[in-house]
Amino acid sequence: MKHEKSSAMKKYYQLVLIIVSVVSVVLLLFYRHEYNRLRYVLQVLNFFGKPGQSSLSTNECATVSQEKLLYTREDDTSTNPLPVWQRLTDTHYVYSAFWEDEQVKSVGLTTTNNADPKFQCQLWFDHVNQPVPGKFGFSVSSSREKKNDKLQHSKVLASYFYCKPKNNVGVPYGVEFYKTDELVPFKTFIAVHYTGKKITVANSTVICVLPDVSLPQQTSAVVEFLNYHRLIGVSNFMAYDAGIMNRISSVLSSSKTVANYGINMAFLPWNFPFPHWEAVDATSTVIEMDCMLRTSGMHRNVAVLAWNEYIVPRYHHHLGAMLDDFDSGRKTTARFEIPAIMFCSNLPDDEKSRKGAPLVLRKTHYLRGSSDEPPFHIHRPHVMSVLGDLSLTTQRVSQGIAALHRYVQCSAEDISSDKPTLYEPAMLRFSGDLMKSRFLKVWQAKKILF
């Protein structure tokens, strides 16, 4: 009897031990789960800041909540699919394609002014197994104003390649162009960009940045450019990347930069098929064409700048507000023409400038006669799409209202004593806000590592 009782007690103790062990394991797993959750929350707070804490300093013009964050999402429609230069023939190249007005509109180049190249096209649709034939069209785009007389002989021209489906079966995901006079035509596939429903953000501006061929890109130029334009109300940027260092692009396109500084940055590949000096004007024109199509319907104002160019209002603090004041009552202005003036970065600094201040605050004299530079334009694509070419108007903005400041390394001839410079203090209006900017301070403290 005692033996049976002892055996029963042992079984009871074993059962209790098993139950305690199971409960302990469950509690351990639960504790580990909660610990990981808490650690994740702390990491997020450390990365993005505390809830309710403003990510922008109070002296900046617009908050992130007032802007549509477009360029740093995984489902980003402004950069997906990514463009890339592709060869159609020895004389025709295509960069990107867009679905607009029930047809594909592709942006590219040609080295011949042939008004009727012998091409054909076909389109690919998700629900159709075979390509759908399309009607091909071609046009040479008018180039931006020449910036250098030595480049007038360039035969590289910006062009549009069109393909309109003969049967309307929806929105295509790809287009192919090929020559009709080849025995076995080589068909080049280009992914088609389509944003779907478009809602223009009120008073918003996007700046597309030209590729910089003077590599490596100076981080100070990038930071100062973004910092200043963010101050005047621009938070959306797209840079056409011809070799920007990876550590710069990875930091600027991160979600942390969006959350903390309100800068929405995207980088697009730019494997240009020609030497830069052979196609300066075509480069600017193609990027302007691509930028306007890529951001169509999402932003009110579109501008194309180089890293060394700044739009500087003399009285307004917000670029969009300045443009709206000029267009008040009319609402038909398709573009604004702003004069450009050139500052020499190798001239002495302003005597009153602070040591370590951004370049744009240290250079306050521009070259006399540089106001004869070709003017700069800010576009309003939504006006262009509604009114059409016949009703488009251009508003000319005087230098007394705003100017494009271009900062360049000048030649000895440009800065000779017989060519006096003129004083232009417009940028100094922003000196206090620029120096207090959180983005600039964090970078200067080397907390943003490029």
CATH of the domain at 256: 3.90.550
DSSP 8-state assignment for residue 115? S
The single-letter code of the amino acid at 162 is: Y
Alpha helices for 237-318 (secondary structure H): 246-252, 255-261, 280-294
Question: How many angstroms from the chain centroid is the CA of residue 439?
Answer: 18
C-beta of residue 271 within 8 angstroms of C-beta of residue 211 = no
Q: What is the pLDDT of residues 228-249, one digit of tens each?
A: 999 999 999 999 988 777 778 8
Residue 120: strand, helix, or coil:
strand
Q: Which residue range(s) make up the domain with 246?
A: 201-444
**Distinct helix (H) and strand (E) counts, the chain:** 10, 20
Tokens in use for 132? 């759908």
Number of domains in the chain: 2
Tell me which H or E stretch contains 265: strand 264-269
* Domain membership flag for residue 268: yes
**pLDDT by residue, tens only, the chain of 450 residues:** 545 556 666 777 777 777 877 777 666 666 665 555 544 334 333 333 433 333 333 333 333 333 333 333 344 557 778 999 999 998 999 999 999 989 999 999 998 766 678 899 999 999 888 999 999 999 988 654 444 444 444 588 999 999 999 887 899 999 999 998 777 778 899 999 997 766 666 778 999 999 987 655 678 889 999 999 999 999 999 999 887 777 788 888 888 888 888 899 999 999 999 887 778 888 999 999 999 999 888 888 999 999 999 999 999 999 999 998 887 756 678 889 999 999 998 888 988 888 888 999 999 999 877 556 788 999 988 777 655 554 568 889 999 999 999 999 888 777 776 677 899 999 999 999 999 888 888 887 776 655
* Domain membership flag for residue 75: no
Separation between Cα atoms, residue 85 and residue 171, nearest integer Å: 22
Q: Which residue has the tokens 């932003």?
A: 299
C-beta of residue 205 within 8 angstroms of C-beta of residue 234 = yes
Separation between Cα atoms, residue 320 and residue 325, nearest integer Å: 9
In degrees, rounded to 5, the angle at the alpha carbon of residue 253 between the alpha carbons of residues 231 and 105 is 95
Same domain, 248 and 164: no
Same domain, 292 and 397: yes
CATH number of the domain residue 121 falls in: 2.60.40
Q: Which residue has the tokens 């040591």?
A: 355
Same domain, 116 and 230: no
Q: Which residue has the tokens 């009153």?
A: 352
* Domain membership flag for residue 172: yes
DSSP 8-state assignment for residue 307? T
Same domain, 220 and 337: yes
pTM: 0.78
Domain boundary among 163, 193, 223: 193
Q: Which residue has the tokens 């162009």?
A: 177
Same domain, 281 and 182: no
